[in-house]
Amino acid sequence: MKHLNRLPRFTKFSRRFSPSASALALAAIFATGHAVQAAPPPDAPAAKRSPLLAAMQAELERSVKAFSAQTPPAYFIGYTITDSQRANVSGSNGALLNSSEDRSRWLEVAVRTGSYQLDDSHKVGDKEMPNGGPGSPVPVDDDAQVVRRAIWLETDKQYRAAEQAYIKIKTGKEVKVETAEGQAPDFSREKPHTFIGPQVSLDIDRKPWEAKVRAYTASFRDSAAVINSIVTFTAQADNDFQVNSEGTQLQFGQIRYRLELFIQGKAPDGMDLDRYYNFDWVNPSDAPDDKAVYAAEGTMRKELEGLVAAPLNEPSVGPALLTGRAAAVFFHEVFGHRAEGHRQKDASEGQTFAKKVGEPILPSFLTVVDDTTRKKLGSQDLLGYYQFDDEGVPAQSVTLVDHGVLKAFEMSRSPLLGFPTSNGHGRRQLGATPVSRQGNLIVESSKTLTNDQLRAKFIELIKQQGKPYGLLIDDIAGGFTFTGRGQPQAFQVLPLVVYKVYADGRPDQLVRGVDIVGTPLAALTKIVATGDTPEVFNGYCGAESGSVPVSAASPAILTSELEVQKKESSTDRPPILPAPAHDPQAPIAAGKTGGAL
């Protein structure tokens, strides 16, 4: 099950993780490979090469010589060290919960035995092959001997695991029927790349943010509907260092900042109600000011108070209008996961689009691009931007659907028939094995309407179908989808704010307890028009290779048919007493004063 989540990390959600040539041939690759020198951005300062790269390269050369001579030979070795610096400040209900800063380094070693065509990663049938472990922590000191020692031990561990896996694969492959998709090579040959970019670092004064999270959460206490509030500021600087036996040498860094606002309430029947908003930025000067944050809080409070009093919606099928953020998640779940390359190859996957390249799968006015080179859409930073993926391949813009016709997939270094190379979408969180993942999924339309025109067409559809109302999906928390062959090929999108739009002109009515459900091939063909203004959803997507930052962008979409079901509800009732600050019978606390409790 794949899951897109915009809510804070303390919320619960399901996530499924799975681990992920001859000596002469390897020596030839290592000796003759010509690295492609990637040009830095025009405004990038001259970068100093980290001593980590020299230590990694020295140990790589030693390992290549030794392990390419083993039986079975290691035909590919790659090292990645990620240096992470993180600051975190969180508060709740007017008080500080946490303020901390830490730094760590993580080493990942990839050793592949066999050949590009067949190696230890090959999946036989539906059995998951064992994995020797994705890596280990390393010291933050730039001590070459200490770093090389850690790499030496991890390389030995990974080779032994790859050796055992390859022997089992060679044995098992002879008695298993191979699908056509499974006959593609196990690993792609890629051009080596060299890029030495500047390292990044955090210089965060946490004191102002400590004051801010206290103030931001204290303001939520003005509403009796808010049972709990949490505001979290995070800043993370990651520096990646990669070398591999093909000749790649990379050094690049990235900083991300995020402010998350989260409040919880309860309906009279016990249903949990959440409102959430996040700000994402990469330049310190783009941090939201207090005015913007308090404006978002005001909207959140008003919507939560409305949801507490809103009626439950009954399951229904009919026309629906999804605003841009909701539409973006809709495409991420319904289309995006099924366009990830490895899902076309794995026999245990549903392979929804595996045989549909060149065929229409969307209305002809829609084009879908996954562009991980794109930093912004309008003024909005995109979380799915990066320079190189986690397999050392440059980020690229990939047209997945061109005017309704499926053209390509998001590819890692696991090839498909007809798609022999990566397009820079091999991704993972630290401690997991890269697979093909979404980055910046952007939906473009040639059949756009203004907001007024779109609403008018929406009401026209409701009347044509003889329905009393349609649903306007205005904001969402995230969603999840099933792609495995043994599971129903279904998706679920989790709205937070939904309105009934009546055909007879009555005012829109806020409702609660709505989950969007459906199957992909049917749902994608029901889109009849789009708005003219794209909106961005930034979040974190969990799947086989862990949780990775992603963006999805789409204009509003009008669909002729969308099915909704009742949301799962808690049996816990709201608190018996109101919050002390909203209870006229509560005694006034003695001691320190200066605001509502």
pLDDT surpassing 90 at residue 572: no
Which of residues 281, 309, 337 is at a domain's end? 309
Tokens of 331: 């495409």
Question: Do 552 and 460 reside in the same domain of the chain?
Answer: yes
- pLDDT, tens digit, for every residue of 477-490? 777 666 655 565 67
Specify the pairing of strand 2-5 against strand 136-138: unpaired
Reduced to 3 states, what is the DSSP secondary structure of residue 59?
Answer: helix
The residues facing 405 across adjacent strands are 360, 402
Question: Do 75 and 171 reside in the same domain of the chain?
Answer: yes
- pLDDT, tens digit, for every residue of 23-63? 333 333 333 344 556 555 545 556 899 999 999 999 999 99
- The answer to whether position 91 is within a domain reads yes
Q: How many domains does the chain have?
A: 2
* Confidence label for 317 from pLDDT (cuts 50, 70 and 90): very high
Question: Do 270 and 321 reside in the same domain of the chain?
Answer: no
- The answer to whether position 16 is within a domain reads no
176-190, 315-329, 351-365: least confident range: 176-190
b/e burial code for range 356-387 (CB count within 10 A of at least 16 → b): ebeeebbbebbbbbbbbebeebeebbbbbbbb
Write down the mean pLDDT value for the chain.
Answer: 87
- The answer to whether position 514 is within a domain reads yes
255-264, 352-361, 458-467: least confident range: 352-361
Give the structural domain span for 533.
Answer: 316-566
Which of residues 250, 280, 309 is at a domain's end? 309
Question: Do 267 and 344 reside in the same domain of the chain?
Answer: no
Average pLDDT over residues 86-110: 97
Question: Do 356 and 265 reside in the same domain of the chain?
Answer: no
DSSP 187-206: S-----EEEEPPP------H
pLDDT of 36 = 59
Question: Do 475 and 561 reside in the same domain of the chain?
Answer: yes
Q: Tally helices (H) and strands (E) across the chain.
A: 9, 27
- The answer to whether position 548 is within a domain reads yes
Which of residues 309, 329, 354 is at a domain's end? 309
- The answer to whether position 6 is within a domain reads no
* Confidence label for 296 from pLDDT (cuts 50, 70 and 90): very high
pLDDT of 174 = 55
Reduced to 3 states, what is the DSSP secondary structure of residue 62?
Answer: helix
> Which of 569, 481, 563 lies closest to 315, judged by CA?
563
Average pLDDT over residues 541-569: 91
DSSP 359-402: SB-S-TTEEEEEETT--EETTEE-TT--SB-TTSPBP-EEEEEE
- pLDDT, tens digit, for every residue of 215-241? 999 999 999 999 999 999 999 999 999
pLDDT of 588 = 60
Residue 33, classified by CB atoms within 10 Å of its CB into exposed (0-12), middle (13-18) or buried (19+), is: middle
Question: Do 297 and 418 reside in the same domain of the chain?
Answer: no
Percent of the chain topping pLDDT 90: 71
Q: Are 144 and 51 in contact (CB under 8 A)?
A: yes
pLDDT of 304 = 96
Q: Report which of residues 28 and 354 the model is more confident about.
A: 354
d(CA 370, CA 398): 5
Question: Do 256 and 372 reside in the same domain of the chain?
Answer: no
- pLDDT, tens digit, for every residue of 405-448? 999 999 999 999 999 999 999 999 998 999 999 999 999 999 99
- The answer to whether position 26 is within a domain reads no
Question: Do 115 and 250 reside in the same domain of the chain?
Answer: yes
Average pLDDT over residues 120-141: 73
Question: Do 152 and 41 reside in the same domain of the chain?
Answer: yes
The residues facing 74 across adjacent strands are 113
Indicate which CATH number applies to the domain containing 133: 3.30.2290.10
Question: Do 545 and 415 reside in the same domain of the chain?
Answer: yes
Q: Report which of residues 459 and 28 the model is more confident about.
A: 459
pTM confidence score: 0.88
Question: Do 300 and 320 reside in the same domain of the chain?
Answer: no
pLDDT surpassing 90 at residue 593: no
- The answer to whether position 159 is within a domain reads yes
- The answer to whether position 272 is within a domain reads yes
pLDDT surpassing 50 at residue 262: yes
